[in-house]
Amino acid sequence: MGKIGLLLMIFGLLLGMIVGAQTVDKVVIGLSAPPRTMDPHGSDADSNLSIMSNIFEGLARRDVNGNLLPGLAVSWERVDPYTWRFYLRKGVKFHNGNDFTWEDVAFTFQRLKDPGVSEFLATGNLVKSVKPVDGNPWIIDIVTTRPVAWFVQNMHQIFIMDKESTEVRSQGEVASHPIGTGPYKFVEWIRGDHLTLVANEDYWGGPPPVKKVIFKEIVDSFTRLAAIETGTVDIIQDIPLELFDRAKANPNLLIVTRPARRGMFLGMKQTSDYPMHDVRVRKAIYMAINVQELIDKVMFGHASPAAQIADPPTVGYNPEIKRLPYDPEEAKRLLAEAGYPDGFSVTLKAPTDRYPRDEETAEAIAKQLAKVGIKVTVDAKPKAIYFPEVTHHDVELYYLGWFDGAYSAMRTFTKLVHSYDEEAGFGLFNAGDISDKLLDYLIEQSDTIVDPELYVEWSQMTNRIAFEWKVVYIPLFYLEDSYAVYKPSGIKFTPRPDTWMTIVDVIQP
């Protein structure tokens, strides 16, 4: 063999090694919350959306930093307050070989309206029509029933389904054998045990480097940690706070954390027959709570102070909003000024099994409020009982967490802050019965703003008025997302802000 031939052979071997190093045969992930269904519209829980994001795609997608990027649409624009125009991606195929067309988009939004299969009724009912523009099947207008400025921000979690195959299959088949356009194809789902996906080698975005993914259901915290300690799984979500030091001390584990998108806060009944109707009382409660003490002693340092509900990736997050200072003496003065020099009695409701150390946090808040004369009875109960009470507004003080799946502060405000109006879809989670004409006006007007920069400024202004002037809620802290990676696997892992395990984003070979 000549020198040139020998060099070519060596080059080929090296190239093969490099290419081989860029792929991973299999990754096993331990999930704390398993998927409920394989129907992308059947559950709006993040545990479900996380899995669906590997199999299905929306018109848009989010990257590992939460930025909105093109998905099944290559671009979009807002034509008028009611109309969003999308330019669809050509050459995309579903896993069964069917071509992706505008009719799949129209079918998807119509399906969202069906309460028998969809938990995205609110989004579905916002859509009036989906039609091609001037007969061009690759340019469509989605017309909404009312102006919705954040509509496109939600498109990463509205997954497009194949019209042809979905219409001819039973709902049971659709909910157990998904067919999408995403980077991974469905193999099998054994409820209570595992879900297996394989790489879609014909994916329009290129073959995924991780060739097989197994999601194992490991709900118990101790079992989940034991699984990664032994290398049974490569990655786990949600290291329990009580076991964090043990995980961190393990030399085979890489601990990855980031501030969670979920902001924890106190809601307050604000009708005229409750003390919290007075903004001075709301400020007093705010200033009587030592958030840093809650973070240090209750959350073991695994949280960060919040001055608003929106988190930094959310459109409308305002870095200029500052927390009111911890000042018990000022809190007492405000209470006296409001007519409650001896404080008052109130019940604080909280779940026992929804958030990390939720009941313990409620108990600690009660003790802090007692120091300024507010006598708190903690009523903690399982989430199956607690959340119906919240949605029925059967609360005085209540402990809740929130992040907006559409990354929009104004979308959050339509749910949490706007006066309750079931028919219009406003205030559906406004358990404290907030009713403020200025905030209602600002929220409603935000949807009519077409200019993106003005929309951001308007959202930030509204956010600041709500939390600094009106004190509609008492922000506490952002939780912390935590993961453990088994070091011998050699996997490089970067978490998304929404906690989704979208493999092409979070795992780098």
Average pLDDT for 264-277: 98
pLDDT above 70: residue 1:
no
Query: Going from the N-terminus, what domains does the chain have, and what CATH number goes with each?
Result: 27-220+491-508 (3.40.190.10), 259-480 (3.10.105.10)
With contact defined as beta carbons under 8 Å apart, do 236 and 218 qualify? yes
Q: How far apart are CA 33 and CA 36, in angstroms?
A: 9
Average pLDDT for 362-375: 98
Q: Residue with structure tokens 């706070």?
A: 241
Q: How far apart are CA 376 and CA 386, in angstroms?
A: 17
The edge-to-edge listing of strands for the beta sheet with 73-80 is: 73-80, 83-88, 136-144, 127-133
In sequence order, the 6+-apart residues with CB closer than 8 A to the CB of 169 are 177
- Which pLDDT does position 2 carry in this prediction? 53
What are the tens digits of pLDDT across the range 287-312? 999 999 999 999 999 999 999 999 99
Where are any strands of DSSP class E within 19-159? 27-31, 60-62, 68-70, 73-80, 83-88, 127-133, 136-144
Q: For 208, what's the count of Cα atoms within 13 Å in the CB-facing half-sphere?
A: 24
What are the tens digits of pLDDT across the range 497-506? 999 999 999 9
The CA-based angle 325-394-326, given to 5 degrees, is: 5
pLDDT above 50: residue 263:
yes
Q: Judging by beta carbons within 10 Å of its beta carbon (0-12, 13-18, 19+), is residue 91 exposed, middle or buried? A: exposed
Looking at the DSSP bridge assignments, the partners of residue 212 are: 198
Q: Residue with structure tokens 């498109």?
A: 155
- Which pLDDT does position 11 carry in this prediction? 47
Q: How far apart are CA 117 and CA 438, in angstroms?
A: 37
Q: How far apart are CA 234 and CA 252, in angstroms?
A: 11
Quote the tokens at residue 121: 């009724």
What are the tens digits of pLDDT across the range 109-157? 999 999 999 999 989 999 999 999 999 999 999 999 999 999 999 999 9
- Which pLDDT does position 509 carry in this prediction? 76
Q: How far apart are CA 57 and CA 335, in angstroms?
A: 52
Record the pTM: 0.88
Alpha-carbon distance values, 82 to 17, 74, 110, 363, 449 (Å): 53, 20, 17, 47, 11
- Which pLDDT does position 240 carry in this prediction? 86
- Which pLDDT does position 4 carry in this prediction? 52
DSSP state, 86? E
DSSP state, 100? P
pLDDT above 60: residue 323:
yes
Phi, then psi, of 367 in degrees rounded to 5: -65, -40
Confidence class for position 22, pLDDT limits 50, 70, 90? confident
Q: Long-range contacts of range 131-134, CB-CB < 8 Å, 24 or more positions apart?
A: 131/106, 132/102, 133/85
Which among 273, 284, 301 has a CA at the least distance from the CA of 433?
273
Quote the tokens at residue 461: 């202004």
The CA dihedral of 167, 168, 169, 175, to the nearest 10 degrees, is -10
Which among 82, 142, 81 has a CA at the least distance from the CA of 110?
142
In sequence order, the 6+-apart residues with CB closer than 8 A to the CB of 240 are 221, 225, 356
With contact defined as beta carbons under 8 Å apart, do 261 and 498 qualify? yes
Q: How far apart are CA 158 and CA 58, in angstroms?
A: 5
- Other beta carbons within 10 angstroms of residue 144's beta carbon come to 18
With contact defined as beta carbons under 8 Å apart, do 284 and 122 qualify? no
With contact defined as beta carbons under 8 Å apart, do 475 and 467 qualify? yes
Confidence class for position 428, pLDDT limits 50, 70, 90? confident
Q: Helix 409-416 vs helix 437-446: angle between axes, to the nearest 10 degrees? A: 140
